[in-house]
Amino acid sequence: MDCPIDYKRLIYTSCIRGSLSDGDVAAIFAASRRNNGLDGVTGILLIENRRFLQVLEGPAESVDLTFERIRADERHRDVVVLDEQCEAERIFADWAMAGWPGERPANAVEKLGRLLRHAPAEVARYFPSLNVPQPV
């Protein structure tokens, strides 16, 4: 999908392949923060119940190139795109890749939930475990 003026936001989920060590998680976040900072990509990565759930946002070309690399990564399989939209604004503008590797999951979940409080409902709904308040 081309987004000539705005940003692209892509949300996908995938299954962890084999065992994922703390070192693997640290390496994923290190590569994400290094590359995404250079490429203008921001987002959020949740690791939970043997699944990844990631939001990538930025210029369409950067998001596409980043996602191509991620899709080919051997550390996961069954990558499924949940949503792909052109947007005028970023949700996670200050986060090269938000997530808290090395923390107890409960802490990471609490912090990601805080970060998602200001996300539109159509994004927050993909993260039910983060207890993001939904508009009534």
Ligand X SMILES: Cc1cc2nc3c(=O)[nH]c(=O)nc-3n(C[C@H](O)[C@H](O)[C@H](O)COP(=O)(O)O)c2cc1C
- Point out which residues bind ligand X (CB under 6 A): 28, 31-32, 34-36, 45, 52, 54, 66, 69-70, 73, 75-76, 97
To the nearest whole angstrom, how small is the minimum distance from the Cβ of residue 11 to ligand X? 12
Number of helices (H), then strands (E), belonging to the chain: the values are 4, 4
To the nearest whole angstrom, how small is the minimum distance from the Cβ of residue 134 to ligand X? 26
Separation between Cα atoms, residue 56 and residue 79, nearest integer Å? 14
Burial class from Cβ neighbours inside 10 Å (0-12, 13-18, 19+) for residue 113 reads middle
Separation between Cα atoms, residue 83 and residue 126, nearest integer Å? 10
How many other CB atoms are found less than 10 A from the CB of residue 134? 9
Looking at beta carbons only, is 28 or 132 nearer to ligand X?
Answer: 28
To the nearest whole angstrom, how small is the minimum distance from the Cβ of residue 135 to ligand X? 28
Looking at beta carbons only, is 35 or 85 nearer to ligand X?
Answer: 35
Looking at beta carbons only, is 36 or 127 nearer to ligand X?
Answer: 36
